[in-house]
Amino acid sequence: SPWKTLTKVNNTYFRPGDQILFKRGDQWTGTLNVISPGVYGNPIVFGAYGSGEKPRIYGSEIITGWTEHSGNIYKATFSGNINQLFLENDRMKAARHPNSGYLFIDSSDGFTSMTCNDLDGSMDYKGAKVFCRTYYFTADLIDVLNSDGNRLTLNRAPRHALKQGLGFFVMNKPEFLDQAGEWFYDATTKTVYLWTPNGDSPSNYTIRASVYPDGIYLNAANFVTVEDIHFLHQAGTGIHLRNSNYVVLNRNDITDAN
């Protein structure tokens, strides 16, 4: 009989030549962990059977139980940590300041202290996160340890030195949730807040939150083929390879992996 859960798959050790096929048109939630290796000419295959859309493996879980919080903002309790939120598979924007574009560093010690005159000096930014472009091709997301007026002290230094003129924005404060299509998650109270694009209740939609790090995780799994699977909403990586060689990837889709 067909298996129903990824847990059953993850707890089974497979032999070279085995095929683990997911029914097209169906969906699962979680991470597919692969630890069984194939051999040359006889790989282990993870794929699809039947007709219709590719089987989906979601890295997100559905949130229910929404109640009105204030105005157009609704809230729901959710136990997992969230780094992406989706309304009917459309990714919502994490509440941030400014709502678009960047603020710019006016001065810094190069490591953990930065000043921006455009910040609201009356706000306590402790617990916020700074997303900072520290070089042409790098960015860092760093916690704010404390603030004093327009000066922020970060809990660690970025990979490249903070410099005057670098762009950044701040996240992870409820005050930043100020327009439709944004969300905020309070990790202390395990509460997610959402202002839907239409301002109505999230209960009218399917709301999903990314919680699982990978769609499929291959660890020391050589000679494995992964094909015809759709990975969605992973909190980290759609397909994660570690210490694995001779892995073949065919016709897979990855949507909104972070």
- Residue 2, pLDDT score: 86
Instruction: List the pLDDT tens digit at each of the 258 positions of the chain.
Output: 889 999 999 999 999 999 999 999 999 999 999 989 999 999 999 999 999 999 999 999 999 999 999 999 999 999 988 999 999 999 999 999 999 999 999 999 999 999 999 999 999 999 999 999 888 788 899 999 999 999 999 999 999 999 999 999 999 999 999 999 999 999 999 999 999 999 999 999 999 999 999 999 999 999 999 999 999 999 999 999 999 999 999 999 999 998
- Residue 6: which H helix or E strand, with range? helix 6-10
- Residue 224, pLDDT score: 97
Q: How many CA atoms lie within 13 A of 101 on its CB side?
A: 3
- Residue 163, pLDDT score: 92
Tokens of 65: 């139980």
- Residue 162, pLDDT score: 92
In whole angstroms, give the CA distance from residue 197 to residue 74: 12
> Cα angle at 100 between 97 and 103, to 5 degrees?
60
- Residue 258, pLDDT score: 86
- Residue 26, pLDDT score: 97
Residue 100 neighbours by CB distance under 10 Å: 7
- Residue 68, pLDDT score: 97
How, if at all, do strands 214-219 and 237-242 pair?
parallel
Q: What is the pTM of this model?
A: 0.90
Residue 67 three-state SS: strand
